Amino acid sequence: MNGTPRLNGVNGHPKDNRSHSPNMSRKSSSPMAPAFMVSAPGKVIVFGEHAVVHGKAAMAASISLRSYLLVTTLSKSQRTIQLVFPDVGLDHTWNIDDLPWHVFTKLAQRPRYYDMVTSLDPELVQAMQPHIDAVSTHLTGDTRRIHQNAASSFLYLFLSLNTPTAPACIYTLRSTLPIGAGLGSSASICVCISAALLKQIHVLSGPHHDQPEEEVEQQLERINRWAFVGELCIHGNPSGVDNTVSTRGRAVLFKREDYSKPPNAEPLKNFPELPLLLINTKQPRSTAVEVAKVASLKKKYPGVTRATLDGIDQVTMSAYTLITSENFDPSSEQNIEYLGDLFRINHGLLVSLGVSHPKLEHIREIVDYADIGWTKLTGAGGGGCAITLLKRNVDEAALRDLQEKIEAAGFEEHKTTLGGSGVGILYPAVLHNGTNEEGGEEIDQQKFLNAKGPEDIDALVGVGLLERRPEWKFWQ
Ligand SMILES: Nc1ncnc2c1ncn2[C@@H]1O[C@H](COP(=O)(O)OP(=O)(O)O)[C@@H](O)[C@H]1O
Ligand SMILES: C[C@@](O)(CCOP(=O)(O)O)CC(=O)O
C-alpha cells in the first residue's frame, strides 16, 4: 500500500522528486507528458444479453453514466506504476523494473498494438500471476477478487503494450457507474485503460474534428480490441458487446459468430430515445458467474438451451426490424407496445436460463401491478439492474407512486440518458468550463479524489456538460 502519491503537475513539473527505486540514476531532464484523462460510458443491453455470448445478436446503447481515468506521469527518477481505484478501495503500486518483462517482450508471438487478441496467453497470465497475487493481500473473498480482476486487466494490457522503459505513472480511476450491476462498468474501465495506454505509447491519432472516417474507425478499433482483452481478464468469456458500445457510444446491433474474427457491430443511427426506467436491485453478482451458469445449462440441456437462445435471437431481430423500419415511430402506442411485448418475452427467456433473481422478479412484479410498463433484466442478471419500458402517456402520479414503491423496497433508480458519446480524451487534463480564464483549471489527482460521488465527479470533469467543455474530444 502507498503513502502520499508523488505527482507531477499537469505541465509535468515535478512536485517531489524522491525516488524509491533502484534506478535512481535515470535522467529527469526531458519534458514529461502532461496529466490527461480518458472517459468511457457504460451501457444497457436492450435485447439479447447472454445469447450474444453464444453467437446471437444483441442490441445495446451507451448511457450517460461513465468511468474517468486520470493519468499522471511521475518524474523520470521514479520507477513505479500505481493504481488508485478508490471506488473499490484499491491502491496498489508495482515497481516497473520488477515486472516480468522478460516473458512479455521475449515471446515470439508477442501481440502488437494493432493486433486482434481473442484469448489470453497462458504463459503471460502465469508470468503476471505473482504480481496479481501481491494485490490487496489484506483482503479476502469477493473484495479481493474485485481488486485483482481490475488489477489484472490493467497489468495484462500494460505489459502487452509497453516496454521496460515505460514512464512511472499514477492511474486514478473514478466511475459514476454502479459496479457489477449489469451496466458495463468493467467494459468502461477497460476502454479507459486501453485508450490511456495506447495514447501513452503514441499510437492513437486524433481525435481531430476533420479526421477522415477510416482513420477514426482505426483508432476506435484499436481501443476496442485491447479493451476486449481487458474484459477477458475480468470475465473470462465476454462477447465483446459491452466494450464495443462503450468505445463507440450511441447504439449498436452486435453479433460475434466466430471469435477469431472481428465482430459485426452495426451502428443503429435512428435509435429512439425510449422512455426507460433503470432500477438497481443493489444485489451484487458477477458477470463471469452468470455467464458460466448459462454455459453449464447448455451442457446439461443442449437442445432446450439452444432453443431458448434462438428465441432470444428472434426477439432481438424483431426489435431490430421494427426500429430500423421506415414506419417506426417511437411515439406510437402500437410500436411501444410491440417493443414492450418483446421486453417481456426476452425477460421470460432469461428467467428460463436461470439468470434472474428474486429481487429482479420483485421489481417486475411491482411494475406489473402498477400496469405502466414492461420489465426485463439487463446485463448479466443474477441481481444488478432491470429496465422498464414505460407505456405511452403514463400518468405522473402513477409514476411517482411506482418510484416510491421501488424505493421503499430498497431498490435504487438511476437517472440516465441513452445513446451518448463513446470513448473521449481530455488532453491535457485542463478545463475552462466555458470561461476564457487563462490557463484554465488543472484537474489534478487531489481534486479528482476529493469529488465525493457521481454528482461531484460529473460537476468536476463530466462529459455531460459538453457545451461548456469542448476540451473533451471524441473519435466520431
Ligand atoms: N470503478 C471501478 N473501479 C475499480 N474496478 C472496477 C470499477 N468498475 C468496474 N470494475 C471492475 O469490474 C468488475 C465488475 O465487472 P462485472 O461483474 O462485469 O460487472 P458490470 O456489469 O458492472 O460490468 C469489478 O469486479 C472490478 O474488477
Ligand atoms: C451477459 C452478457 O451478455 C452481458 C454482461 O453485461 P454486464 O457485465 O452485466 O454489464 C455477457 C457478455 O456479453 O459478455
Provide the residue ranges of all domains of the chain, joining segments of one domain with +.
Answer: 36-266+419-474, 271-414
Give me the pLDDT at residue 111, please.
86
Give me the pLDDT at residue 26, please.
44
**Pocket mutation for ligand 1, best pick of 65, 135, 145, 146 (most atoms within 8 Å of C-beta):** 146
Give me the pLDDT at residue 8, please.
43
Q: Which ligand is nearest to the CA of 154?
A: 1
Q: Which ipTM score applies to this complex?
A: 0.98
Whether 428 and 256 have beta carbons less than 8 Å apart is answered as: no
Q: Whose CA is nearest to atom 1 of ligand 2?
A: 380
- Secondary element (H or E) of residue 138: none
Which CATH number applies to 271-414: 3.40.50.280, 3.40.50.10860, 1.10.510.10, 3.30.70.890? 3.30.70.890
Q: What percent of the chain has pLDDT over 90?
A: 82
The class (CATH top level) of 36-266+419-474 is alpha beta
Task: Read off the pTM.
Answer: 0.92
Q: Is the beta carbon of 48 within 6 A of some atom in ligand 2?
A: no
Q: Whose CA is nearest to atom 13 of ligand 2?
A: 239
Give me the pLDDT at residue 9, please.
40
Helices (H), 301-378: 302-323, 333-352, 358-370
- At 292, list the grid cell: 458460466
Q: Say which residues have a Cβ less than 8 Å from residue 122's Cβ, sequence separation at least 6.
A: none
**Pocket mutation for ligand 1, best pick of 82, 136, 175, 179 (most atoms within 8 Å of C-beta):** 179
Give me the pLDDT at residue 11, please.
39
Low-confidence ranges of the chain (pLDDT < 70): 1-30
